[in-house]
Amino acid sequence: MTDSTKPAATLTLAGSNKSLSLPMLDASIGPTVLDIRKLYDTLGVFTYDPGFGATASCESKITYIDGDAGVLLYRGYPIEQLAEHSDFLEICYLLLNGDLPNATQRDEFNRGVMRHTMLHEQIRRFWDGFRRDAHPMAVMCGVVGAMAAFYHDSVDITNEEHRRIAAFRLIAKVPTIAAWAYKYSIGQPFIYPRNDLGYAENFLYMMQAVPCEDYKLSPVLAKAMDRLFILHADHEQNASTSTVRLAGSTGANPFACIAAGIAALWGPAHGGANEAVLKMLAEIGNKKNIPEFIRKVKDKNSSVRLMGFGHRVYKNYDPRAKIMQKTCHEVLNELGIKNEPLLDLAVELERIALEDEYFVQRRLYPNVDFYSGIILKAMGIPTPMFTVLFAVARTVGWVSQWKEMIEDPSQRLGRPRQIYTGPTQRDYVPVGKRA
């Protein structure tokens, strides 16, 4: 971040002779940022930006999105190139360390992560405390948070080695927790990880294998899962990442911070959207019902939204959605599914929405979740697990952003301000004297 010497703007308060020149901070790409850090001390005013639509909360070198052009870069590399040529563990290295690994670094990193896939055996007992029908995201929040109670040798955030091991543990163990959350819900025995498998392969193995049968996995499906992980790995300062950073800014341990991120991801406006897309498609049921559904979406008196459409940052086609759509066709081909009614419905829904003035005017396009649910369903992943897969993939993004924040000397406790519009000071009235 370059601090330009020339002031970018001068702010003068109406009716006052006080003014402040606001320096400009240069981004390597993307909009220039006005530095308002001296605003309150100098002018005594706050800024108001609910939802942080125009506020940069931190400096970051990890991920860049150009929402107007539909561009997503991890450490400068376009997502399309990474999805085509890379694999998830290499992306983990890239996000955590800033550059792609050479062959030795890659092997060492892969071994390092995969050596940590098992959970402390006592963590298994946590599952006995969960109801059988617990949503797997509830299990994820609980068990990931509980990791701090087991891995005391990686909770000192001031120690670089602790941070490194915590990152490995989180990336390696989250798939095990996720797969076991699923196994528990269907009453099947937990399957222990296999470190000779790839990251996505191992996850599918733990979710789908049973002890009484050989397990065979199609490389096409493993590749599709790996790609899905790549596409979800990071997405700059979204709600869950900001939650992780805010929790981390207090000095909380990494496992607690990632549990906070998982909780924030759960909502339907964020990671829960892929689950919501499938529910929506099931409710629409048939192409002939699309116009009526679109009418409800556009009706301001209804709270119905076209799930999998729209994004806070993308005002163009989400580049991840394009890759998802292609992957969707590959997966269906591999599985020999010639006709998937949900995909037909989704394609038609997209076509109608993209031609509709309501969506055109508001620049609402398909996002990453529009097609991912169809892929996952075809692969036999149950709907409640969709957001869990997102959490598995996003863990590396959260950890990278958390680590970047901890290692940034300018980082401070996150503490937003507010416009208070409640009652002004008043005196306590005993209950007997209240109207």
Q: Which residues are catalytic?
A: 311, 369
Q: How far is the CB of 353 from ligand CMC (least distance, A)?
A: 9
Query: Going by C-beta distance under 8 Å and a sequence separation of 6 or more, which residues neighbour residue 129?
Result: none
* Secondary structure (H, E, C), 176-215: HHHHHHHHHHHCCCCCCCCCCCCHHHHHHHHHHCCCCCCC
Q: How far is the CB of 369 from ligand CMC (least distance, A)?
A: 5
Residue 164 or 298: which CB sits closer to ligand CMC? 298
Write the burial class of residue 292 (CB in 10 Å: 0-12 exposed, 13-18 middle, 19+ buried). exposed
Check residue 320 for interaction with ligand CMC (CB under 6 A). Answer: no
Residue 119 or 364: which CB sits closer to ligand CMC? 364
Question: Is the Cβ–Cβ distance between 84 and 226 less than 8 Å?
Answer: no
Check residue 369 for interaction with ligand CMC (CB under 6 A). Answer: yes
Residue 227 or 311: which CB sits closer to ligand CMC? 311
* Secondary structure (H, E, C), 236-280: CCCHHHHHHHHHHCCCCCHHHHHHHHHHHHCCCCCCCHHHHHHHH
Question: Binding string to ligand CMC for residues 271 to 310, with x set by CB under 6 A, is what?
Answer: x-x-----------------------x-------xxxxxx
Query: Going by C-beta distance under 8 Å and a sequence separation of 6 or more, which residues neighbour residue 164?
Result: none
Number of residues interacting with ligand CMC: please give it, by CB under 6 A. Answer: 20
Q: At what angle do helices 386-406 and 136-146 cross, to 10 degrees?
A: 30
> Whole-angstrom Cα distance, residue 400 to residue 389?
18
Question: Binding string to ligand CMC for residues 329 to 368, with x set by CB under 6 A, is what?
Answer: ---------------------------------x-x--xx
> Whole-angstrom Cα distance, residue 82 to residue 73?
9
Q: How far is the CB of 267 from ligand CMC (least distance, A)?
A: 9
> Residue 31: how many CB atoms within 10 A of its CB?
9
Q: How far is the CB of 263 from ligand CMC (least distance, A)?
A: 14
Q: Which of 293, 370, 272, 287 is nearest to 328 (CA)?
A: 370
Residue 148 or 374: which CB sits closer to ligand CMC? 374
> Whole-angstrom Cα distance, residue 379 to residue 371?
13
Residue with tokens 């192409």: 287
Check residue 377 for interaction with ligand CMC (CB under 6 A). Answer: no
Residue 180 or 359: which CB sits closer to ligand CMC? 359
Residues 218-277 that bind ligand CMC (CB under 6 A): 235, 238, 269-271, 273
Q: How far is the CB of 409 from ligand CMC (least distance, A)?
A: 30
Residues 396-415 that bind ligand CMC (CB under 6 A): none
* H or E, element range at 125: none
Residue 208 or 325: which CB sits closer to ligand CMC? 325
| Contact positions vs ligand CMC (CB under 6 A) | 235, 238, 269-271, 273, 297, 305-312, 362, 364, 367-369
